[in-house]
Amino acid sequence: MSGAQISDLRLCQRYSDSGSQSARRASAKLFEDAANEEAELAEQAARASKIEALRKRDENWTGEESIQDAVLRMLVDKYKPLRSGPIRSADEKLRKAPPQVGATEPGAIDTVEALRSAVDDSVVVKTAWGASSGRSLADVPLLPHIEGHQPWLTTFTVPSHAQSSIKYGNIPPSATTSRLPPNPEVLDDKAKRKLRETKKRTEQAGRLRNAKESTLDYRLGIKSPNRHEGVAHQRPNPTSLRGWTSLVEDRIERARQEGRFDRIQGRGKPLKQFVEERNPFIAREEFLLNRIVQRQGAAPPWVEVQQELESTVNSFRDVLRQSWTRRAIRMLTLSQPPGLLTNLTLDKFIAFRDVEWEARERGYHNTAIEEVNSLVRKYNGMSPYAVRRGHYALNVELERAYRESAEDILEGITRRVKAGPTGTSSLASTWDDERESTPRSGDTNWAPIRIRDVIREWVGKLARR
């Protein structure tokens, strides 16, 4: 029902000549209900529009923190905002402006009594700026209205009549009474026995403590000057924080007098700066711990297995390359004349193959590659996912050996050709078959490396584990 319809109904009611008193009361009730319904509808519409505006202005919480908020929070946690002005403790502030204790001034205003007297609605309230009102004090503003002023811009000012009534006491420290040992003459047998047991336990604890201190001093190379004078002259371990501080200062002073600080590495030089020190995502404690671990040479277990795997793979490839180099030089120098060997290029040596050598050494190669792959499986079981490795294939390793040993083959053949007929005639004895272990005559430093020896060494290491 609209407002115009309500007005028409009211006019009809006003100018109606007929109708009883009960009819007029029923129509008034209808008009009142219609007005209340209109007010409720208007209030609901205003509330809905306000809620919709709030939803559009502020984003709802989804349960996940955005990247911008997370980075800002971590940076604020790592680098605290600096304070403005000098930093003063609470003791300094109290010392500079101590609270004063005094009686209340005669002209002070009793705020509580003033509020109690203003409760009555009939009391005339007079404001500070001269305006008077017959309303209650709760309805009268305490301060005049200022255009554009916001409540959060108001600064609290201590009234002139307000004084502190707190007195801070200065309690002198109590005198420490020394605990004297009990007199054995006035004790009974049970107390004497307990005193002897306590003394015995104290001596045993003292001997254990002295043994630990002596062990640490021996490891650090510190010579105790009072060791030959007995236990009575040794300094006991402190029991308080001040005692430990004094002990540390004594040790530092003793080390300085002995000249230990003169041999510190990097003394008198600027400190080395690391990039990790400026990383806001790495805490200072974590950075220091990582640096200590790196300097001590410690590493996780999977890193040690990785180093072992690298060493094993490099050894296998070196043995494979040396074995093929000797075999290729021997076969080429015996099957080709020297004049034709000089015309061979690097691509010819890369494409050269020996089926007989591959068939004879296949058993050793399969055993070696299986040992390498078992070590790879062990490494993958301990290492993170991002640094895991795949298995090694024998044909891939052979192609790698053919490709990398081509330059060594070319260099060896060139050296043999330049040696002349003497070197050519002695090639059969110099580059013998890999199954022979006899060194070259006149050369005591040369000894061929056989792959079977390397495999036996690997098997022995695995058996000892």
- Each residue of 195-229: pLDDT tens digit? 888 888 777 777 777 887 787 777 766 665 554 44
What is the mean predicted confidence (pLDDT) over 104-127? Answer: 49
Average pLDDT score over the chain: 74
Quick one: how far is CA 230 from the chain centroid? 48
Contact 416, 424 (CB under 8 A): yes
Comparison of pLDDT for 23 and 285, the residue scoring more: 285
pLDDT tier, 299 (very low <50, low <70, confident <90, very high otherwise): confident
Do 136 and 121 contact (CB within 8 A), yes or no?
Answer: yes
> How high is the pLDDT of residue 349?
84
Please give the Cα distance from 22 to 27 (Å, whole number): 9
Lowest-confidence pick of 27-41, 254-268, 433-447:
433-447
Average pLDDT over residues 417-428: 56
Compute the distance between CA of residue 220 and CA of residue 196 in angstroms, rounded to an integer: 36
- Output 208 or 71, whichever has higher pLDDT: 71
| pTM score over 0.85 | no
Does 193 have pLDDT greater than 70? yes
pLDDT for position 439: 38
Note the pLDDT of residue 172. 66
Of 13-27, 67-81, 208-222, 272-286, the range with the lowest mean pLDDT is: 13-27
In DSSP terms, 132 is beta-bridged to 126
Q: Please report the pLDDT score of residue 112 as a whole number.
A: 46
| pLDDT band for position 338 (cuts 50, 70, 90) | confident
What confidence category does residue 318 fall into, taking pLDDT thresholds of 50, 70 and 90?
A: very high
Contact between residue 373 and residue 391 where contact means Cβ atoms under 8 Å apart: yes
pLDDT value, residue 223: 61
Give per-residue burial for 142-151: e unless 16+ CB within 10 Å, then b: eeeeeeeeee
Q: What is the pLDDT of residue 99?
A: 75
Which residue stretches of 336-354 are H helix? 338-341, 346-351
Checking if the pLDDT of 17 tops 70, the result is no
Angle between the N-to-C axes of helices 355-382 and 394-404, in degrees from 0 to 180, rounded to the nearest 10: 120
User: Above 70 in pLDDT, residue 57?
Assistant: yes
What per-residue string of b and e applies to 213-224 under the rule 16 or more CB within 10 Å gives b? eeeeeeeeeeee
Tell me which of 322-326, 412-416, 417-421, 434-438 is least confident.
Answer: 434-438
Residue 397 has pLDDT above 90, yes or no: yes
pLDDT at site 431 = 42
126-146 pLDDT tens trace: 554 454 555 555 666 666 777
pLDDT at position 204, please?
A: 75
